[in-house]
Amino acid sequence: MDGELAVPQSGGMESLAGGAFAPRNTYLNTASTGLLPEPAAVAMRQAIEGAAVGRPTDMFEDVEASRAAFARLAGVPASRVAAGSSVSVYTGMIAASLPQGAEVLVADGDFSSLVNPFHMRRDLSVRTVALEKLADAVRPETALVACSAAQSADGRVAGLPAIRAAARAHGARTLVDASQSAGWLPLDATADDYTVAVAFKWLFCPRGIVFFVVPEDLGGLNAVFAGWVAGERPWDSCYGPVAELASSARRFDISPSLFSYPGARASLALVEELGVDAIHAHDLALAGRFRDGLGALGHTPVPAPGSAIVSVPGLGHRQPELSRADIEVSDRAGNLRASFHLYNTAADVDRLLDVLSA
């Protein structure tokens, strides 16, 4: 990878990642799944080949390196980061910790893995309001405000500063799902009580990895899913009840999908090398180019200023046609959703616009 990575001088319109990615199509679907960089693919192949011949590598070392890398990206110590495999497991853990009758405030149409676990506890009061009204809807009885930093369906970015301020004013905790933002939108997990994020989208890690950030005091959570890896000394915690849970957020770890972590370690290293600020500028420049082009074609996207995700009402039905033309986007609720990341270029945007103009 040495010598291949360089921030472009053309306003973010060329690929940021040099030869680390090799898409064979016009891939504009990171909001569904990020591309896997070659260094990550190589690391995973080496781990698999080692296991196949009885010489496995220490993939738990890769877990710790990945945890530390995500912690740096989130601006928190690694002791506050748990490693798991599902957003819903961690939101379910938070739901299980709330007292009977507690009010949880969520955004209308937010991703199911974030909101559904709260609905599954029938003794909680779950109140749903429009994303833009979340801050104004916090009230004294609100115990938790949960929302995605960027909406999966249409890319709208939450007004987190106002939401946090309102929550603090009323003594409520905040839970932010950064699954659609971590990797392109600067992340400050110190500002929230809980942050959760899948890593297979904008962090372009293999599937099977979720990071969960908790407060220094562990947020009053009960490690209801704790297995042997949650022990202070995991290899001494394999049989019977775990005698001592980890004193850090590692007590919330879920037994890891180990073969994913060598790849995650390489992918997160690439994010750190390029820098989220540079990725952010690159992605927004491409999204802005697409929005401008849509206007010229007479289409109006869902208003989502400052987002790398662009959703266009009424065009979702064209997704199969675009796929046949080797352009990968998504159909979400009838909207065409395009998402722009560091491996995309201005030529990718223009090709999508050309096909849409036909």
d(CA 187, CA 72): 10
- What are the residues whose beta carbons fall under 8 Å from the beta carbon of 322, sequence distance 6 or more? 328, 329, 336, 352, 355
- Both ends of the chain: CA-CA distance in Å? 39
Number of neighbours of residue 240 by Cβ within 10 angstroms: 6
Q: What is the pLDDT of residue 255?
A: 95
Domain range annotation of the chain: 18-36+275-357, 59-272
Number of neighbours of residue 247 by Cβ within 10 angstroms: 10
Q: What is the pLDDT of residue 4?
A: 32
Q: What is the pLDDT of residue 8?
A: 32
Q: What DSSP designation does 302 have?
A: P
Q: What is the pLDDT of residue 9?
A: 34
Q: Over the stretch 268-326, which tens digit does the pLDDT of each residue have?
A: 999 999 999 999 999 999 999 999 999 999 999 999 999 999 999 999 999 999 999 99
H/E element, 44: helix 38-52
Architecture per CATH, 59-272: 3-Layer(aba) Sandwich (3.40)
**The tokens 């995605």 sit on which residue?**
148
CA distances from 106 to 102, 143, 192, 242 (A): 13, 11, 15, 35
Q: Over the stretch 156-166, which tens digit does the pLDDT of each residue have?
A: 999 999 999 99
**Residue ranges for the chain with pLDDT beneath 50:** 1-12
Greatest extent of the chain over all pairs of C-alpha atoms, in Å:
65
CATH C-level class of 18-36+275-357: alpha beta
Record the pTM.
Answer: 0.94
Please give the structure tokens belonging to residue 256.
């890891």
Closest CA to 206 of 155, 260, 157, 168: 260
